[in-house]
Chain A
Amino acid sequence: MIKILKVIATIALTALIGIQFIPTSRNQSDVVPVTDFINNYNPPKEVASILRTSCYDCHSNNTNYPWYNKIQPVAWYLEDHVSHGKEEFNFSEFGDYSDRRKKSKLKSLLRQVEQDEMPLDPYTLIHSDAKISESEKELLLGWVNKVLESI
């Protein structure tokens, strides 16, 4: 019995180590583009920091890669979500959006954050500082509402 378990465990462990060598692409860029959202709208420090820690990993051209973002299967998960998340909404390219699109995106942002749909749940499990508290939420939404009215 123990022998069989051992064999299975060895196979499993090998597989777990094996997948670490499957390459994933990194979403990183050294320059902050002029079209960047935070650059353009100068939010208060707290708001900028919420956006950077909770949203920019999936919605900008620059993801942070602490060690746990580099191991499999986390790296896969992130690669998938970054490519999809960026397609939907890219803070790095926000300045290039038409006013119409800016408004729609900010409206969606308000709703997603209000209904606690963003940041995505499974992500906040491995990245607990990305979670947004009620007071942070209020701060962020209040500021985004003002930006929305100004466009």
Chain B
Amino acid sequence: MKNIKSILSVMLITILTFTVTSCRDTKKEDDNGMDHDDMEMEHDDMDMNDSSMNSAENKGMTQDKSASDAIVTNYLEIKNALVADNTEAAASSGGKLVSVFEAFEVSNYSEAEQKELKEIIENAKEQAEHIADSPVDHQREHFEILSKDVVDLIAITGTNKTLYQDFCPMYNDGKGAIWLSEIKEIKNPFYGSKMLTCGTMQKEI
């Protein structure tokens, strides 16, 4: 009897061990799967970005406001997905934004601007990565940081698009948060359907 008990406990420990271990393995596989997706997306965006790079070159050193187009477009996609409480759409646009940031060409800007742009992009890319694989609450947290980054980026690169800078006073424990929108009407990405019209327009960019 005692024998069976100790045999069983050894087996139990072993099973536990392999459960923990196998958890770890499945996570690895997940990661790989994601990398794969990311890579495919990268292809699409590289093409897109190549063409915008060429147009920047054609115009010589005059700075091309359209350089930020792909960033703004994908940012607004994330924004609209969050407004609609659509986690998957936000994640997929987040993934695209990562590769747009990776392909962004800073060489057309002055040295000081380049330094600033590199810091913005490094930070913003991380936020986009998190948006690509987080639950909606985290997506919104990272979207808040991303919004500030995109505002600062546009201040350097300029943009062809008309954008509105909106402010939500409640988010972030009442410290408030800004976001950018392509429409005048307030549609709040931080709370989505819970508080869709909360916020004010601060300025037009």
Q: Give chain A's interface residues, CB within 8 Å of chain B.
A: 2, 5-6, 8-9, 12-13, 15-16, 19, 72-73, 76-77, 80, 98, 100-101, 104, 107-108, 111
A5 contacts across to B, CB distance below 8 A? 4, 7-8, 11
Q: Which residue of A lies closest to B146 (CB)?
A: A104
What's the Cα separation between A8 and B13 when bound, in Å?
Answer: 13
A72 contacts across to B, CB distance below 8 A? 17
Q: Which residue of B lies closest to A80 (CB)?
A: B24
Contact with A along B110-124 (1 / 0, CB 8 A): 000000000110110
* Contact B14 A100, beta carbon cutoff 8 Å: no
* Contact B21 A73, beta carbon cutoff 8 Å: yes
Q: How many residues of B contact A (CB 8 A)?
A: 23
B141 within 8 A of A: yes
A9 contacts across to B, CB distance below 8 A? 7, 10-11, 14
B21 contacts across to A, CB distance below 8 A? 19, 73, 76
Q: Assuming A2-B3, A5-B4, is B123 touching A100 (CB within 8 A)? A: yes
Main secondary structure of the interface of A (DSSP, over half): helix
Please tell me which one of the listed residues A13, A80, A100 contacts residue B10 in the complex, with CB atoms under 8 A apart: A13
B149 contacts across to A, CB distance below 8 A? 100
7 A-B interface contacts by CB (under 8 A)? A5-B4, A5-B11, A8-B11, A77-B24, A100-B119, A100-B149, A104-B145
B155 contacts across to A, CB distance below 8 A? none
Please tell me which one of the listed residues A2, A13, A76, A107 contacts residue B14 in the complex, with CB atoms under 8 A apart: A13
* Contact B24 A98, beta carbon cutoff 8 Å: no
A77 contacts across to B, CB distance below 8 A? 20, 24
What's the Cα separation between A13 and B9 when bound, in Å?
Answer: 11
B145 contacts across to A, CB distance below 8 A? 104, 107
* Contact A16 B20, beta carbon cutoff 8 Å: no
A108 contacts across to B, CB distance below 8 A? 141
